[in-house]
Amino acid sequence: MELIDFTGIATGLATFVIIGLFHPIVIKAEYYLGKGCWWLFLAGGIAFAVLSAVIGDRSLIWSTVSGVVAFSSFWSILELFHQEKRVRKGWFPENPARRTKYDFDEQVPRRGTNSYKWDNAPDGVLPLWVADMDFRTARPVTQALQRRVGHGIFGYTKVPDEYYDAVTGWFGRRHGLHIEKEWIIYTSGVVPAISAIIKAMTVPGDKVLVQTPVYNCFFSSIRNNGCEVVTSPLVRTADSYAVDFEDFEAKASDPSVKVFILCNPHNPAGRVWTETELRRMGEICLRHNVFVIADEIHCELVYKGCRYIPFASLSDDFLGHSATCLSPSKAFNIAGLQIANIVVSDPETRAGIDKAINVNEVCDVNPFGVIATIAAYNEGEEWLDQLLDYLAGNYGFMKEYCGKYLPDFPLARLEGTYLVWMDCSLLGMPSGKLEEDLMEKAGLWLNAGTMYGAEGEGYMRWNIACPRVRLEEALDRFREYVRTCSRNL
């Protein structure tokens, strides 16, 4: 007496493959059953095989049913060990019931950890300034790092193919940006990347165009390469910013302007540039032979109703006439691991930038940055989606709070990043002085708007990537400070 009906297995295997593998609805329905049901399938298959042996029925129907159950058991084993991998590859949808719930309300103590953000702040001061988050990174990232630390040897790092696969897979899957492995130059950060690209694309005395107010490190990267900063100020609208295209083209048409640094999403204005805006800026730069450095480090931090569009994805001309700077550091809160990528398709341009990376001696990366990038891009999407929901909730909370208690301190609309731009001009105090005064009198550290150019005068930048209770406390401190100022007027 046979315990396994091999005829049935063969028949059932063929039937199940045809129905299952070529019918996505069946596959997705199976996935949604969850791991517990796969164990039941497996147990049922074993029981059915025993029953088949006892009954001894060899009819075609019995053979087919036996085979379907047997193959379901085999499929169950695969599902038990490979569900997450298949979801990442897009073979199955994610089952919402099986999502890990991350706690972004947890207040993780950071003082005494050599945190640049917290340990530079005096005791009692709430730091909502520099752009790192007060949340633990995605669990798959910490688990991957713990496994690497457990090895105990931390020599020089060879960047593996798995790293390139993770980067190209993430941007292709999540953003529709096709990247070839050969286009990627890794380095220790986006700021070193920008500095190296400027070195490669300019000579001392050239000019570099930026849109102010803008990330302060752009200015130092330009000047450190012996170049001159040219600004095309953004125009303030009711609750946001827009490009002054007439001024932008006037500045770009200067033959001395060789490079434009695009910040998308824009720090600190919070804009996520639309396709129309990106195309218009790109066409102006092509017309005047201005090379584009696209700083897209905040690209994952975009909220519902807006869409990040990679500049290089819009046309082959834009791709060939630009270098895109990317990193998981902002989105996954791993800035201290110092890893970034430059994406350059043109071989000659890429060779020049690679040479500058080596001249600047920022060509080596550490093992933890590599491991964290692989884990973040392969397994961190669930965490990131929940983070975005939480950050959007923080912004909604802040907007409602300010509307109720601080109506004279309007916020710029936040389309991307976790950095909120507040108009504090009512206080009539220079931004630099206000930063100092808030630290001293309110125990609150915000960034002065003038860090980001003269156009930031009267503004303060808030980092809202923290537990909501901490954000509420910061807002309460600011509100009390405003009350005190009003009484003293």
SS3 call for 289: coil
Mean pLDDT for 430-438 is: 98
CATH annotation of 126-136+382-488: 3.90.1150.10
Under 8 Å CB-to-CB from 325, ≥6 apart: which residues? 190, 193, 194, 197, 293, 294, 295, 296, 297, 340, 341, 342, 343
Encoded amino acid at 246, one letter: E
Contact in structure between 422 and 482 (CB atoms under 8 Å): no
Q: What is the pTM of this model?
A: 0.82
Q: Backbone phi, then psi, for 337, in 5-degree steps?
A: -85, -10
Encoded amino acid at 352, one letter: G
Mean pLDDT for 16-26 is: 46
SS3 call for 95: coil
Distance CA 92, CA 32 (A): 9
Under 8 Å CB-to-CB from 194, ≥6 apart: which residues? 217, 218, 221, 261, 293, 295, 325
Distance CA 147, CA 145 (A): 5
- How many other CB atoms are there within 10 angstroms of residue 213's CB atom? 27
Looking at residue 486, its pLDDT comes to: 83
Token pair of 49 as six digits: 């095989």
Contact in structure between 429 and 388 (CB atoms under 8 Å): no
Looking at residue 70, its pLDDT comes to: 58
**Structural domain boundaries in the chain:** 6-97, 126-136+382-488, 154-379
Asked if pLDDT for residue 265 goes beyond 70, the answer is yes
* Fold equal for 126-136+382-488 and 154-379: no
In this structure, is the dihedral angle defined by the CA atoms of residues 284, 290, 291 and 297, taken in order, positive or negative?
negative
| Peptide bond just before 93 cis, omega within 30 deg | no
Distance CA 239, CA 203 (A): 39
Kindly calculate the radius of gyration of the chain based on its CA atoms and give it in whole angstroms. Answer: 27
Cβ-count burial of 227 within 10 angstroms (0-12 exposed, 13-18 middle, 19+ buried)?
Answer: buried
Mean pLDDT for 326-351 is: 98
Under 8 Å CB-to-CB from 306, ≥6 apart: which residues? 272, 415, 416
Q: What are the CA-CA distances from residue 145 to residues 137, 154, 187 (Å)? A: 11, 12, 19
Looking at residue 207, its pLDDT comes to: 98
Cβ-count burial of 278 within 10 angstroms (0-12 exposed, 13-18 middle, 19+ buried)?
Answer: buried
Contact in structure between 326 and 299 (CB atoms under 8 Å): yes
Under 8 Å CB-to-CB from 430, ≥6 apart: which residues? 450, 457
Q: What is the pLDDT of residues 65-103, one digit of tens each?
A: 666 555 555 555 555 455 444 444 444 444 544 456 899
Q: What are the CA-CA distances from residue 452 to residues 49, 295, 410, 433 (Å)? A: 71, 15, 18, 15
Mean pLDDT, the chain, whole residue set: 88
Interior/surface letters 152-185, b for 16+ CB within 10 angstroms, e for the rest: eeeeebebeeebbebbbbbbeeebebebeeebbb
Element (H, E) at 469: helix 468-488
Q: What are the CA-CA distances from residue 338 to residues 63, 230, 317, 327, 361 (Å)? A: 59, 29, 30, 9, 14
Fold of 154-379: Aspartate Aminotransferase; domain 2 (3.40.640)
Percentage of the chain beyond pLDDT 70 is: 79
Under 8 Å CB-to-CB from 14, ≥6 apart: which residues? none
Percentage of the chain beyond pLDDT 90 is: 79
SS3 call for 228: strand
Lowest-pLDDT range of 30-44, 60-74, 150-164: 30-44
Q: How confident is the model at residue 420 (pLDDT cuts 50, 70, 90)?
A: very high
Q: Backbone phi, then psi, for 124, in 5-degree steps?
A: 90, -10
Asked if pLDDT for residue 200 goes beyond 80, the answer is yes
Q: What is the pLDDT of residues 435-463, one digit of tens each?
A: 999 999 999 999 999 999 999 999 999 99
Distance CA 340, CA 167 (A): 10
